[in-house]
A and B are shown apart, each in its own frame.
Chain A
Amino acid sequence: MTLEIILFILFALIGAASGVLMITRKNPVMSALFLILNFAALAGIYLLLNAQFIAVVQIIVYAGAIMVLFLFVIMLLRPDAEISILRTNPLLKYVAIGVGVLVFAQLIYLIFFFKPLNITPSDVAERIQIGTVENIGTEIYTKYIIPVQVAGFLLLSATIGALVLAKKKFE
């Protein structure tokens, strides 16, 4: 039992559990908090995979910015606790869960029975090398510069869109 495996099991369990808990809470604030926990667990897993930059970016962007945005909106709008779906349309719930299980089954099948997966993991040093800030920075500013510019535009348009949609009308 190396440390790696223990850590993996720990983070995996936290991530899975928090995901399940997230979707079953009645209170949306609780759901948001569990999602943050999920992101944290994921960041831990990224570290296990030697993707340092991504792990940190995950915490900063997702857990730090996006979830804060979510919490702000929840605070602003203060939606009511919703009526359990069990009471309004139980059939739909079971169908949905069934469909979801089907998706999971198919993915499992894909993973285990589709087998050009003779991947020999590269050695650790190389993996660390890939995940550094320096390497990723070089990549995105040389090979993937165009997508970066486009991403910039996308963010700009998202900002403008959010502004326009959410503001109060001028009288």
Chain B
Amino acid sequence: MINWIYLTVALPMIGFLINGLLGSKIKNEKVIGIIGSSAVGIPFLISVVALFELLALPNDQRVFNVPLFTWLSSGWLNVSFAYRVDQLSIVMALVVTGVGFIIHIYSIGYMHGDKGFWRFFAYLNLFIFAMMNLILADNFLLLFLGWEGVGLCSYLLIGFWYDRKFEKSTTSDAAKKAFIVNRIGDFGFLLGMFLIYITFNSLNFAEVFSRAAALSIPTYVFEFIAIFLFIGATGKSAQIPLFVWLPDAMAGPTPVSALIHAATMVTAGVYMVARCSVIFALAPSAMAVVAVIGLLTAVFAASIGLVQTDIKKVLAYSTVSQLGYMFLALGLGAFSAAIFHVMTHAFFKALLFLGAGSVIHGMHEEQDISRYGGLKKYMPTTYITFLLASIAIAGIPPFSGFFSKDEILWHAYINGGLFVWIIGVFTALLTAFYMFRLVSLTFEGKERFDHHSVHPHESPKIMTIPLIVLAVLSVIGGFIGIPEVFSGTGGNLFSSWLEPVFKTANSKIHHFGLHSHFEEILLMALSVAGVVFSIWLARHIYIKNTRIADSVAAKFKGFYSLLRNKYFIDELYDSTVVNPIKKVSENLLYRINDVKIIDGAVNGTAALVDKLSALIRKFQTGAVQFYAVIMVFGIVVALFWILLSL
């Protein structure tokens, strides 16, 4: 089945074509839903089979190359549509197709009755196609194809309800914002690719990485490449400074937020950095930058999430914050920890978003949590699954979030020092706090909505069953990666599975001294205790006595407003980047260049031709004698020519 891995890419494309071209004619939603879901479900099965095939092989032979056809071949540049099946790509493929499949099933229920039902599934399939290309690619160019493809699909899906208003503008504005900010990151990615090609004369992963490890190339080359690639990752994975699109991307339907912005697309940046671990390992300063930005983003976004009142916005900032954790892990050299967190995060964040979708659906499209309250008795399944996901993201053992986040914090401690660990734990406390603030304000406490106008109800089975599946995964998914302190050497199945992929990178990084098991368990206990305290505090404030929150907000009004308005980052970007560019474009580029120079040249050419022809027209007098003069003149010239040659 490994040799048929390209089917995982082809089937979603086929689903896209069928649903896209014929979807408007198929009137039966079920058929469209089945086509769309099986276009992702079958790839999931293929990936599972491939996983078992890989498991059957010894540890160092688990790399396969499945070429399809050559794409470009000119000079030294040889790029083909070829897929690489190894431990890392299989993990990502399973996550993408698995979670994707669950979300497809959920969408059949959520998008029921929407007039663009077929369009939705077509776009979803296109997204999976691009994402699989990204994950399975064996060269940078094919990865970039998928990179751009997911960016395009996020534009299409965020702006899916293209005729709706969204905050101060429209959904299409939000979609455009996502696409444009992504493009800025992509520019960095392209620069990185160019540098890679110049340095290594190839874009193929295997060739580039083996040459990177073997040849002696000055470090600054790697630094530049790594920084450029990371800029691309900040765009796609919403880190500082290019995270501004993710909260606005909540304009799209909730399954879109679940799939794209929680589980798959935003993790493309993490995957890319992990894939290029060799390059990053050879660029220590770049790794430090990655770690610092990851950490800053984590704290930053968590602080904003504390005071948001839209249920999806809270989850969006939570995503940005968790992505910060992943990049922190990458920057510290804990590549498999980052991928582990990608996997667990996919489970519980998708669950959170789908649960939020269920709540929104049940509350008739209301998204403001100040109008929720006490919903747990109307939507029990949603409540329980949402609660389980919140516990997971907070990091309570033995849920999955605990294992992955704890591994990151441990690496923060041993590679970054106590200060980094403290900030990481602080962010975890904030995470727990805002998540349980959300749970409390939504499901517990007094009901703050008008009973007569709003009748909350549980969602249909087709939406709740995916929630249950994801809840199970969120609970038990962490057992793959139990740290060695509990399971003995080699007991962390996940990191030993991924170890061959990161072997070269790990050999280039300096690992600091040994730490004892005691330290590890102590730190674990401290963080868990802090998290439990946060949860209690959140529940106490928001269920029992919300006045505490209001009085704190009033006392620190300035700080509260700063957080509420997301540190005015959007306004800052507007004034420093967007508006100057608009002004320059309008005045310089449009008025002067476009109108005067280009139009002037084109119109001027026409005017020139006009004038010349007016001149030449004078020769057509119609008077024969005039022509005779010209003829004689021609004879003179001809004679002159002959005389010259004599």
A positions within 8 Å CB-CB of B: 92, 95-96, 99-100, 102-103, 106, 109-110, 114
Contacts and interface: CB of A to CB of B under 8 A. Distances in A.
Given A110-B643, A114-B646, A92 B629 contact: yes
Contacts of A106: 636, 639-640, 643
Contacts of B629: 92, 95-96, 99
Contacts of A99: 629, 632-633, 636
Interface in B612-646: 625-626, 629, 632-633, 635-636, 639-640, 643, 646
Contacts of B639: 103, 106, 110
A110 B636 CA distance: 12
Nearest to B636: A102
A114 B635 CA distance: 19
A92 B626 contact: yes
Contacts of A110: 639, 643
A156 to B, nearest CB: 28
Contacts of B626: 92
**Main DSSP-derived SS at the B contact region:** helix
A92 B626 CA distance: 8
Interface of B: 625-626, 629, 632-633, 635-636, 639-640, 643, 646
Given A95-B629, A96-B629, A99-B629, A109 B636 contact: no
A106 B632 CA distance: 12
20 contacts: A92-B625, A92-B626, A92-B629, A95-B629, A96-B629, A96-B632, A99-B629, A99-B633, A99-B636, A100-B632, A102-B636, A103-B632, A103-B635, A103-B636, A103-B639, A106-B636, A106-B639, A106-B643, A110-B639, A110-B643
Contacts of A95: 629
Nearest to B637: A102
Contacts of A114: 646
Contacts of B636: 99, 102-103, 106
Q: Top 9 nearest A-B pairs by Cβ distance? A: A106-B639, A102-B636, A99-B632, A99-B633, A96-B629, A103-B636, A114-B646, A95-B629, A109-B643
A114 B646 CA distance: 8
Contacts of B643: 106, 109-110
A100 B625 CA distance: 14
Contacts of B633: 99
Given A99-B636, A102-B636, A106-B639, 7 more contacts: A92-B626, A96-B629, A99-B632, A103-B639, A106-B640, A109-B643, A114-B646
Nearest to A107: B639
A99 B639 CA distance: 12
Contacts of A100: 632
Contacts of B640: 106
A114 B643 CA distance: 9
Nearest to B635: A103
A88 B64 CA distance: 94
B633 to A, nearest CB: 5
A73 B240 CA distance: 102
A105 to B, nearest CB: 9
A100 B646 CA distance: 22
A102 B638 CA distance: 12
B638 to A, nearest CB: 10
A106 B639 CA distance: 7
A102 B632 CA distance: 10
A22 to B, nearest CB: 17
Contacts of B635: 103
A99 B638 CA distance: 13
A110 B633 CA distance: 17
A6 B427 CA distance: 128
A133 to B, nearest CB: 36
A93 to B, nearest CB: 10
Nearest to A102: B636
A106 B629 CA distance: 16
A99 to B, nearest CB: 5
A116 to B, nearest CB: 11
B511 to A, nearest CB: 96
A103 to B, nearest CB: 6
B171 to A, nearest CB: 73
A138 B155 CA distance: 100
A99 B629 CA distance: 8
Nearest to B640: A106
